[in-house]
């Protein structure tokens, strides 16, 4: 099956928009993104691989001019229904030549690991960043990719459709060798937080308390689940 068809069917078969769609851990991951992405009113923002649209909707509430790009017309129509000001593009995040626009921010949140050719994607995004624009990427950190056997094609299939695993040095190298300067990296969502159920126990506390606990867990080893990276064009 072509990967474009995969994501079209995925959005139809699974409800990503129901009540309580975010776990406590996901809510904290989202808050980490909000902290790192300093969107200002009037900024032009591209949400590449927008999925269920949580970032697009948040950025629009900050006063940004938001474009949500995704391979699911189903998801895009739901985003548009929730906020008509958000522009939507049905396209592959690896190839957004359909748009000649330039953006202050391009965000790709847990997207790069799904892409057949991550290098082509980030090179393509560079063409759509303003000279002072920023790219924000989040991906699973040092993920061990597991496989299952597809009952239809009898081939190994990666769980969660993750095709790549990234570490800090590899991700920085990928960006620096393809037209970007990496400005910031952040490891977050330590696996000890899950083991100790701290996401649930700290749910009533402000984000800053969760962030402090997450950093303390880092003292017990580099076992974070996610990495975020911000980069700017070299020229």
What domains does the chain contain, in order, with CATH numbers? 3-14+22-233 (3.40.50.150)
| Mean of pLDDT values over 200-222 | 96
> pLDDT category, 6, cuts 50, 70, 90?
low
pLDDT above 70 covers a percentage of the chain that reads 88
Q: Look at residue 231 and tell me whether its pLDDT is greater than 60.
A: yes
Rg (CA), the chain: 18
C-alpha span between 231 and 146 (Å, rounded): 29
Q: Look at residue 171 and tell me whether its pLDDT is greater than 90.
A: yes
pLDDT, one tens digit per residue, over 125-170 is 999 999 999 999 999 999 887 777 776 677 777 777 888 899 999 9
Please state the pTM of the whole predicted model.
0.89
Q: Look at residue 52 and tell me whether its pLDDT is greater than 60.
A: yes
Structure tokens at 194: 């899950």
Q: Look at residue 3 and tell me whether its pLDDT is greater than 80.
A: no
- For 16, the 3-state DSSP assignment is coil
Which is more confident, 6 or 104? 104
Residues ≥6 apart with Cβ < 8 Å to 38: none
Q: Look at residue 183 and tell me whether its pLDDT is greater than 80.
A: yes
Residues ≥6 apart with Cβ < 8 Å to 47: 53, 55, 56, 59, 66, 67, 68, 69, 107, 109
Q: Look at residue 16 and tell me whether its pLDDT is greater than 70.
A: no
pLDDT for res 82: 94
Structure tokens at 21: 């769609």
């Amino acid at each position: 099956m072509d990967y474009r068809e995969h994501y079209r069917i995925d959005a139809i078969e699974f409800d990503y928009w129901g009540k309580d769609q975010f776990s406590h851990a996901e809510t904290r991951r989202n808050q980490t993104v909000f902290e790192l992405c300093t969107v200002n009113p009037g900024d032009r923002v591209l949400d590449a691989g927008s999925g269920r649209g949580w970032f697009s909707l948040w950025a629009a509430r900050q006063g940004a001019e938001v474009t949500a790009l995704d391979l699911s017309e189903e998801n895009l129509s739901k985003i548009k229904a929730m906020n008509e000001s958000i522009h939507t593009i049905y396209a592959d995040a690896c190839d957004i030549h359909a748009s000649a626009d330039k953006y202050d921010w391009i965000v790709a949140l847990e997207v790069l690991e799904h892409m057949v050719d991550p290098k082509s994607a980030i090179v393509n995004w560079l063409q759509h960043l303003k000279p002072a624009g920023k790219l924000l990427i989040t991906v699973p950190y040092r993920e061990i990719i597991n496989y299952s056997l597809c009952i239809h094609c009898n081939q190994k299939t990666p769980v969660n459709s993750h095709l790549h695993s990234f570490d800090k040095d590899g991700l920085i190298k990928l960006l620096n060798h393809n037209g970007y300067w990496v400005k910031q990296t952040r490891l977050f969502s330590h696996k000890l937080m899950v083991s100790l159920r701290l996401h649930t126990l700290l749910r009533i506390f402000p984000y800053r308390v969760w962030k402090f606990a997450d950093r303390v867990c880092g003292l017990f080893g580099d076992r974070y689940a996610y990495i975020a990276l911000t980069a700017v064009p070299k020229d």
